[in-house]
Amino acid sequence: MERPHAAYFRYTGRGQLKAKPAASLPTTPAGRLAARLKSIALGRPLANEEEAGERLSKKKALAIFSSDAISSSAYATEEIVRVLVLGGVAALALSLPVSIAIALLLGVVAFSYRQVCIAYPTGGGSYSVSKANFGKIASLVAASALLIDYTLTVAVSTSSAVEQIVSAVPSVAPIAVLIGVGAIALLTIGNLRGLREAGNIFAVPTYLFLGAALLTIVLGVIQVLGGDQAAYTAEQLARQQSSVESLSMILVLRAFASGAVALTGTEAIATGVPAFQPPESRNAATTLLVMGVLLATLFIGITFLAVNFAVLPIEQSARETVIAQVAAHVYGDGSIPFFLFQAFTALLLFLAANTSFAAFPRLAAVLAQDGFFPRQFSFRGDRLAFSMGIVVLGVFAAALVIAVGGHTHTLIPLYAVGVFTDFTISQAGMIRHWLRERPPGWRYRLAINAIGCVATAVVAIVVTTVKFVDGAWLVILLIPTFVGLMMFVHRQYAEQARELHVRDDIVIPGPHRSQRVVIPVPGINRAVVQAVNFARAIGPDIRGVYVTDDIEGGEELRHRWERQFPEVTLVLVESPFRAFIGPFVAYLDVLDREWPAEQEAPITIVVLPEYVARHWWDRLLYNQTAKRLKATLVGREHTVIADVPYRRDH
């Protein structure tokens, strides 16, 4: 009994279709193997309706979106101390006041971004806010700064993680960069598997670090209150100071600008609001507040211990970071708790990059949907992840780690400029939003965002000024460059849309122009037979074209052709210079010139018979001429190209 033909198929993943009613469709062994390997690496494909199950609870979202901000407590204190040490012991005493000032700024920013989560639940962060309130250019500036900082987040977090490992195990210093690049590769694969599994992977290390860091601070404070304090020695200061500067406001501002990296990653929650479980806005706002409290506690606590334990960063044959020295003082250098704390810190810093892997692809997808990024960035992969954005971020971050040799301090000057540029644009946009919409409670929300806008604008100016020579100039150069590139992509898509636009009121008639079919043939074989049969279904005006430098052999082929294809004309084109493409195109030109000038030229359909090789190595031997001919004919006036592949399964 003949099976009914299915008119509808559903893609089930792993290279197979499920027919309704079911029907078995052949797949190649190579295709099945590739699908199997992809399934092992990334997991089974997820259907669109499974996306709701990929949403994040507040606990998992805190681990994913806050890991970058929380982990910055591992290196923000060190950046403050690196600057203040130039002013001597008196300047180092200002480390704690500077960290408190940064924590207060963090509170302002966190409360400001809570309003963004509520007002813009579709995500996108400063890009969405600036687009809705300021227009295209401002939104692209915000997006460019965000994309740069997301990439730097991965590089900085990874480099800092490697430095924590080197602090505990100095012998691994020679392979530090390799460890960082390998970690980025694993993060890329983990995120390609899908958001829910990423949350499961990252939740445990994040909470392990939080528990260990809070315990370290509590134990350290107890030790300080018990009289266990230290003073900076002349040897410590001499080892750090290449030149001593006078204690000045400029030095304090430089320290503030360096420590402001603690605020990086704060916007990630506002960007990823759609990833939360319903109610998305409320859950995101709550998570943002919890993140701010935790980060402020860790940052101030670690700085307090670093000052009271007289800790300075050590750079000799192997680095010893500030947070590693704090842990060594609390637990004892080389003790098991010390190694556990360093392991938790390094693991969190590795996974802190996941904030960018969650936020960068989503922002790139929003930009792609708006026509400013290639459309591939808006496509979800088998696991409902924005695969293109994940892969691109991983590649660029790994390249950055290699370029700077895995040194966190080298990347810090690039880091905060874009962050505070985004903060300022976003808060200014929220001011305009509340003035325009005026919902209940808008005055209170307006005041919060106004304070945030002023504070972040001042910090943006300070950071850009004091860090300009150290590398901030590069970010200032890259932002307008990226804006220009995105404008170019948008213009290309707009031009394409105009070229392809069809008016709604036009009734599309059937074909009224005559058409002819031309088949370039290498001889008579099964692929050519299939191409001729395809051409017969198109129309009666069919002609094969045989280009040869052997006219006698061509005549022999013509006799056989006329016997086997009696209704199809074979045209011989002699090519004494052994070329194929030029003579064939010249024949098409002859056909065009033969048509009366007062009549519209017919459509020429060039049917290309192609043999589908069974093995990858066979593909190097077949269809090269067809590929070159296709490339030549693409865009030719009133010419259509049709590939007719032939595959022999047995």
The domain limits of the chain are 58-493, 515-646
Distance CA 131, CA 346 (A): 37
CATH of domain 515-646: 3.40.50
Q: Are the CB atoms for 256 and 98 separated by under 8 Å?
A: yes
Query: Beta 603-611 vs 569-574: how paired, if at all?
Result: unpaired
Q: What percent of the chain has pLDDT over 90?
A: 20
Burial of 441 (0-12, 13-18, 19+ CB in 10 A): exposed
pLDDT mean across residues, the chain: 80
Contact present, 115 and 267 (Cβ < 8 Å): no
| Per-position b or e across 458-496, b if 16+ CB within 10 A of its CB | ebbebbbebbeebebeebeebbeebbeebeebbeebeee
Phi, psi for 366 (deg, rounded to 5): -60, -45
Alpha-carbon dihedral 381, 177, 63, 221, rounded to 10 degrees: 180
Q: At 340, is the pLDDT very low, low, confident or very high (cuts 50, 70, 90)?
A: very high
Question: What is the arithmetic mean of pLDDT over 180-191?
Answer: 89
For every residue of 569-625, DSSP letters joined together read EEEEEE-TT--SHHHHHHHHHHHHHHS-TTSPPPEEEEEEEEE--SSTTGGGTSSHH
**What does the angle CA 21 – CA 10 – CA 25 come to, to the nearest 5 degrees?**
65
Chain segment 508-553, per-residue pLDDT in tens:
565 555 688 999 998 888 889 999 999 988 878 898 989 888 888 8
Give me 473's structure tokens: 């100039």
Closest CA to 160 of 353, 312, 306, 329: 353
Instruction: Give the residue-averaged pLDDT of 381-407.
Output: 85
SS3 of residue 546 by DSSP:
strand
What six digits make up the tokens of 525?
A: 């074989």
- Taking CA atoms, 22 is separated from 2, 9, 16, 48, in Å, by 13, 9, 12, 21
Q: Which amino acid appears at position 533 of this protein?
A: N
Average pLDDT over residues 161-170: 89
What is the CB neighbour count within 10 angstroms for residue 156? 32
Q: Which two tokens stand for residue 594?
A: 């033969």
**SS3 call for 78:** helix
pLDDT digits (tens, 9 = 90+) for 350-388: 878 777 887 788 888 889 888 899 888 887 765 557 888
Residue 139's nearest CA partner among 462, 479, 408 is 479
CA distance 207 to 205: 6
Task: Give the pTM.
Answer: 0.71
- The single residue listed with the structure tokens 């007719």 is 644
- If you count them, how many residues does the chain have? 650
Residue with token string 């995500």:
123
Residue 205 confidence class, pLDDT cut points 50, 70, 90? confident
Are 38 and 382 contacting, i.e. CB atoms less than 8 angstroms apart? yes
- Give the amino acid at 115: Q
Residue at token pair 């707009």: 494
Between 482 and 124, the higher pLDDT residue: 482
pLDDT on residue 541: 86
**Superfamily designation of domain 58-493:** Amino acid/polyamine transporter I (1.20.1740.10)
Task: List, in sequence order, every residue forming a beta bridge with 113; answer none if it has no partner.
Answer: none
Q: Tell me the C-alpha distance between 518 and 544, whole Å.
A: 6
> What is the model's pLDDT at position 11?
35
Distance CA 186, CA 189 (A): 5
Provide the token pair at 165: 């490992």
Tokens 């874009």 sit on residue: 418
Instruction: Count the Cβ atoms, other than its own, within 10 Å of residue 641.
Output: 17
Whether the per-residue pLDDT at 218 is higher than 70: the answer is yes
pLDDT number for residue 238: 56
Q: Which residue's structure tokens are 């993060």?
A: 187
**Least confident span in 139-148, 193-202, 213-222, 293-302:** 193-202
Instruction: Report DSSP state, residue 645.
Output: E
Q: At what angle do helices 76-84 and 280-308 cross, to 10 degrees?
A: 40
The region of weakest confidence among 5-19, 341-355, 387-401, 635-649 is 5-19
Kindly state the tokens that stand for 570. Answer: 């074979």
Q: Is the pLDDT of residue 443 over 70?
A: yes
φ, ψ of residue 25 to 5 degrees: the values are -115, 135
What residues are paired with 517 via a beta bridge?
A: 542, 605
Which pair of tokens denotes residue 76? Answer: 């923000």
Among 217, 552, 192, which residue's Cα sits nearest to residue 392?
192
Cα torsion 292, 293, 298, 301: sign = positive
Give the chain's end-to-end CA distance (angstroms, integer). Answer: 25
Least confident of 150-159, 466-475, 502-511: 502-511
Q: Strand 16-19 relative to strand 9-13: parallel, antiparallel, unpaired?
A: antiparallel
Q: Is 386 left (phi over 0), alpha (psi -120 to 50) or beta?
A: beta
Give me the pLDDT at residue 81, please: 86
**What is the tens place of the pLDDT at every residue in 42-84?**
555 554 444 444 577 888 888 777 777 888 888 888 888 888 8
- On the question of a common fold for 58-493 and 515-646, the answer reads no
DSSP symbol at 276 = B
What Cα–Cα distance (Å) separates residue 117 from each residue in 25, 135, 344, 436, 519? Answer: 47, 20, 30, 18, 60
pLDDT at 12 over 50: no
**Per DSSP, which regions of 261-352 are E strands?**
314-315, 319-320
pLDDT above 80 (res 504): no
CB count, 10 Å around CB of 427? 27
Give the position of tokens 């200002």. 94
